[in-house]
Chains A and B, each alone.
Chain A
Amino acid sequence: MNDIEITDPCYEEKIRLLQLLSLVRDPELELNIVDLGLIYGIDIDKGKKITSIIMTLSTPTCPAGDYIKGGVELMAKEACPGFEIRIEVTFEPLWSADNISEAGREELGW
């Protein structure tokens, strides 16, 4: 995911959302989904009260897919109470190992 600019009007909300999303872990890889690079983008529209998240899964047939998506939805609701939550799961581009953050790579022993 692209870094969040400090000049972004929703900077604080997005950072808080990312922190909460870091609590969601992939059960097999035992790594949080932010460091795993599953979050492709987040957008918060304060005016319309809509939070949109574009995310992926490590494989399209990931058996824990619904659990991960469910966790993302829960965290988004907690970060943005009263907002409509829109989550889009995409496989374009397909997730690859290059998405893993530096901290994630260290945790996996790469």
Chain B
Amino acid sequence: MEIAERHVPGKRTVLPYYLTAAFCLVIIFLMALFAIKDFGGHFFQPHLLAITHLTVFGWGTMIILGATNQLMPVIADTKLYSEKLPVAAFLFLVPGTCLLVHSFWSFELTWPIFVGAFSVLSALALHSINIFVTASRSPVKNIVIDFVMTAHVWLMLTALIGITLLLNFRLGFLPAGHLHYLKVHATIGMAGWFLLLIIGVSSRLVPMFLLSRKELKLCLTLAYYLINSALVLFLTEGMILQSNAGYLFYYLLIAAGIGSYLYYIWRCYKSAIRKKMDSGMKVSFMAIGTICLPAVIIAAGMLHAKEAPVAIVTAYGYSFFLGFITMLIMGQTFKTLPFIVWMHLTRPDRLQQLQPKDLYNDKLVVLQQWIYLPGFLLFLSGILVPSGYLMYPGCIMMIAASVLYFGHAFYVVYQLKNERYRNY
């Protein structure tokens, strides 16, 4: 059998995504600082739309695209189909996101927002093509590949619904109200793209990092079918029947899928040989725990009234993106990035004195988390209460954590230029 090193993709397919995403995270919190008052109002307004789309494309999707370029060869045991497509996708994604975010912020729904949206769509299509062709060439077939592929299908559908919504702003051709479709757009994106992809990738990485002896693949299969069934029903009812009668049932299906996934992770942890976890894994586990937070918030909102109050909806979206997704990425960055840089610094024909752990500072990851977590919770409390006195210090703490994260990620990548490591 061939050894996987030959599948390692080049630096350009991964590192620009990581660094751009880290930079965007700082910008997100700076924007949030200038839009704190808006968090107390309705979630469907320009500044929050701009922040959400920067979080989705500039941060979450940006880093996930880079990470999947690196991980897909490991998951599929084959080379990435193309190393040019990721570069092209990046060149479409960055200006597309800038145009989209700027247009939402100033709420100018003219040609730049459409250029931006189609540019982002092109980036996502190029990336998805690369992933699909890579998967089709894979000698292995497993549930992890199914998760990754299906997540990309939902990503494309989310982007297409997003563009339809933009066109609807101008032409007003959809029969139901805009907020109805926005709910479908957001749910498909959150559960279909982010959740499925994270479940798929983490179900491969967690047992690998922990050296788990037992993996309950059945739980993963169950999670896959529960979440996807819910999403298909959700999409059909929302877009074709223009109704939301079954939403509670679909949310319960998704919650059951998440429960099945959490049980899988728990069993991986229980059967792990590697009990000593580094800070990256600790932060990741904390993030996996926070997956329950948006579910609890939205459940509270649904029990409160038929339509959840706006503060609850804002808190739900905030806790999903800046709680679960952000903490997971922050933790996994310092599991994957030093390893990626290490592979480009070292050569197989030399004995490795340098190890990935030498390329980053574990204590900084802990510090970053100790600043981020209370900041996140303060801000969340500020949205729910609502109170600027809670949101301002929370936001400043998140800015500090994001600056630390960006600096640290930049430092890790900069080691590629470090003369000290040239002879490794």
Residues of A within 8 A of B (CB): 23-25, 27-30, 57-67, 69-71, 73-75, 89, 91, 96-97, 100, 105, 108-110
Contacts and interface: CB of A to CB of B under 8 A. Distances in A.
Given A24-B351, A71-B351, A109 B276 contact: yes
Interface in B210-245: 211, 213
Nearest to B208: A59
Given A62-B3, A74-B349, A74-B350, 5 more contacts: A23-B351, A28-B208, A74-B351, A89-B3, A110-B273
Given A57-B3, A61-B74, A69 B348 contact: yes
A96 B276 contact: no
Contacts of A24: 351-352
Contacts of A28: 208-209, 339, 356
Contacts of B1: 60, 89, 91
A41 to B, nearest CB: 17
B276 A108 contact: yes
Interface of B: 1, 3-8, 73-75, 77, 208-209, 211, 213, 273-276, 339, 342-343, 346-352, 355-357
Given A27-B356, A28-B356, A61 B273 contact: no
Contacts of B276: 108-109
B3 A66 contact: yes
Given A62-B4, A63-B4, A63-B343, A105 B273 contact: yes
Contact of A65 (B4, B75, B275): B4
A63 B349 CA distance: 15
A100 B74 CA distance: 23
Nearest 9 pairs of A and B residues by beta carbon: A66-B5, A70-B348, A65-B3, A109-B276, A109-B275, A66-B348, A61-B4, A97-B273, A61-B77
Contacts of A65: 3-5
Contacts of A91: 1
B211 A97 contact: yes
A51 B276 CA distance: 36
Contacts of A70: 347-350
Nearest to B354: A27
A58 B274 CA distance: 13
Contact of A71 (B8, B273, B342, B352): B352
A6 B347 CA distance: 36
A70 B5 CA distance: 11
B74 A29 contact: no
B351 A75 contact: yes
B212 to A, nearest CB: 8
Given A25-B352, A29-B211, A65-B4, A108 B346 contact: no
A49 B351 CA distance: 23
Nearest to B277: A109
A4 to B, nearest CB: 23
Nearest to B348: A70
Contact of B74 (A63, A73, A74): A63
B77 A30 contact: no
Contacts of A96: 213
B339 A63 contact: yes
A73 B7 CA distance: 20
Contacts of B347: 70
A28 B357 CA distance: 8
B355 A64 contact: no
B5 A27 contact: no
A87 B357 CA distance: 28
Contacts of B75: 61
B209 A66 contact: no
Given A27-B352, A109-B275, A110-B273, A67 B5 contact: yes
B352 A66 contact: no
Contacts of B74: 61, 63
A90 B1 CA distance: 7
Contacts of A23: 351
21 contacts: A24-B351, A24-B352, A27-B339, A28-B208, A28-B209, A28-B339, A30-B355, A30-B357, A57-B3, A58-B211, A60-B4, A61-B7, A61-B77, A63-B5, A66-B5, A67-B348, A71-B352, A73-B349, A89-B3, A108-B274, A109-B276
Nearest to A104: B273
A109 B277 CA distance: 9
A78 B171 CA distance: 74
Contact of B274 (A27, A29, A67, A73): A29
A108 to B, nearest CB: 5
